[in-house]
Amino acid sequence: MSPEVRLQKAIAEAGVCSRRKAEELIQHGHVRVNGELAKIGMNVDPSTDKILVSGQYLRPESKVYLMLNKPRGYITTATDPYGRKHVLQLIHEPQRLFPVGRLDRDTTGLLLLTNDGEFANKIMHPRYEVSKTYEATLDRRIESEDLARINSGVMIDGVMVKSHAVRVAPKVVRIIVHTGMNKEVKRIFKRIGYWVEALRRTEIQGVHLSMKEGKYRHLVPSEIKKLLGDGGRPSPQPRQRSR
């Protein structure tokens, strides 16, 4: 018999969605266990309990972890009602996968995809401060004092966002960020008066982009371990706020 786990964890581990999204589905009455309306925090045995999520029975899948080199012009969603190109059109796997976080339509580079909601949450949640490295092409040469300002910290939405930036060409900056804030890199440069003309993500938590644009591959176990940090569980870090 499988050990019992929290319902939201079982849903996330089955690849339906993240644990946070699973809690929302439970809260809004979209989940039933053995015919009864589910409650957040209840324990289930996925091997014996009949778990219905939004009208579909839960079927545990083998875990899949992919790295995609996202091309420009693709949106980071599983589907699109307007018929725009989306990243799942580049993936040919039998499992139901979803992107880990987002890259803007005009941003290229490293994007993770998985069916493991728990893994996705650990990569995306700001409190884990997973490092992400980008190369940003700016509208003009960046001055040394502005690089120093970025490295000292830039205030965005009441949060002191600290990052590490180095100039690799007159208009190109390599920048490492950690907070997981939406459009973080573009907002950092906008804050100090620069416009990002092109943005490419090259690395997440020490895992490097390693294939041609539009191609993908499965992560190896050592990369998965690196993404999840020491022992597979990144340590939450406190966020710095203005006082």
Active site members: 104
User: For 21, phi and psi rounded to 5 degrees?
Assistant: -65, -35
Q: CB-side exposure of 149: number of CA atoms within 13 Å?
A: 14
Give, rounded to a whole angstrom, the gap between the first and last alpha carbons of the chain. Answer: 52
How far is residue 13's CA from residue 1's CA, in Å, rounded to a whole number? 17
Closest CA to 92 of 220, 212, 215: 215
Q: Are 210 and 104 in contact (CB under 8 A)?
A: no
User: Token digits for 161?
Assistant: 């966002």
Radius of gyration, CA atoms only, the chain: 20
How far is residue 117's CA from residue 110's CA, in Å, rounded to a whole number? 19
Fill in the DSSP letter of residue 225.
Answer: H
Question: In this structure, which amino acid lies at residue 149?
Answer: R
User: Token digits for 199?
Assistant: 């943005």
Three-class DSSP category at 3: coil
